[in-house]
Amino acid sequence: NAGVTQTPKFRVLKTGQSMTLLCAQDMNHEYMYWYRQDPGMGLRLIHYSVGEGTTAKGEVPDGYNVSRLKKQNFLLGLESAAPSQTSVYFCASSRTGNYQPQHFGDGTRLSIL
């Protein structure tokens, strides 16, 4: 039972490059989330999805795009990477919203040079 799997685990990019982070869950969860974690700032929500084919903006969406074409996958894209996007990115999923706990992946460490 893999839970939430994020790929890649580490990546170094140059400013202006693009990339896609993949999140896959095998728990048949409806809701999925992308967060970024920066020192002293906790986790901040980038984008989220309440079901296949839906996406919505979170607290810090600028510079990111997402897609949820399949229920089990949630993709996070950086079209033109900037040094300010250097961070650890976490994906999470939950059965539904409200009081359901979120299940997290192990994170992707992304450095933008």
- Identified binder of other proteins from the candidate list 14, 42, 62, 69, rule CB under 8 A: 42
Binding of other proteins by 40 (CB under 8 A): yes
| CA atoms of 48 and 67, how far apart (whole Å) | 10
Binding of other proteins by 98 (CB under 8 A): yes
Tokens of 92: 């999470």
Binding of other proteins by 106 (CB under 8 A): yes
DSSP 3-state of 53: coil
- Please report the sign of the dihedral spanned by the C-alpha atoms of residue 53, residue 10, residue 61, residue 59: positive
Contact positions toward other proteins, by CB under 8 A? 4, 31, 33, 40-45, 48, 50, 56, 58, 90, 92, 94, 96-102, 104-107
